[in-house]
Amino acid sequence: MTKHYIRNSGTAWTPKQERELGQLAKQNTPTRVIGLKLGRTEDAVRSRASQLDVSLRPTNQSPYNRKK
């Protein structure tokens, strides 16, 4: 059984999708997963996040400053 995802390729981003993008990015959700949830490609998610000034970088996974 496969899941069916809504494909929004070529359609304009709605304010609701933009809010969801921001919320998912704050939760450190991987770009691929964000794309699947919103029915967009990874490139589309990265592009829109850049336009909205939303960071897709993980916020709490620094490999530096770890205690040994």
Encode pLDDT of 44-68 as tens digits: 999 999 999 999 887 665 556 555 5
Enumerate the H helices of 1-68 as residue ranges: 15-26, 31-38, 42-51
- Has residue 66 been placed in a domain? no
Q: Which residue has the higher pLDDT, 2 or 10?
A: 10
Please compute the mean of the pLDDT values over residues 39-45 and round it to a whole number: 92
Q: Is residue 34, in this structure, part of any structural domain at all?
A: yes
Domain that holds residue 25: 15-51
pTM: 0.75
The predicted pLDDT at position 11 comes to 87
Percentage of residues of the chain with pLDDT beyond 90: 60
| pLDDT for the residue numbered 57 | 85
Residue 9, in any domain of the structure: no
- Residue 46, in any domain of the structure: yes
Crossing angle for the helix pair 31-38 and 42-51, to the nearest 10 degrees = 100
Please state the domain count of the chain: 1
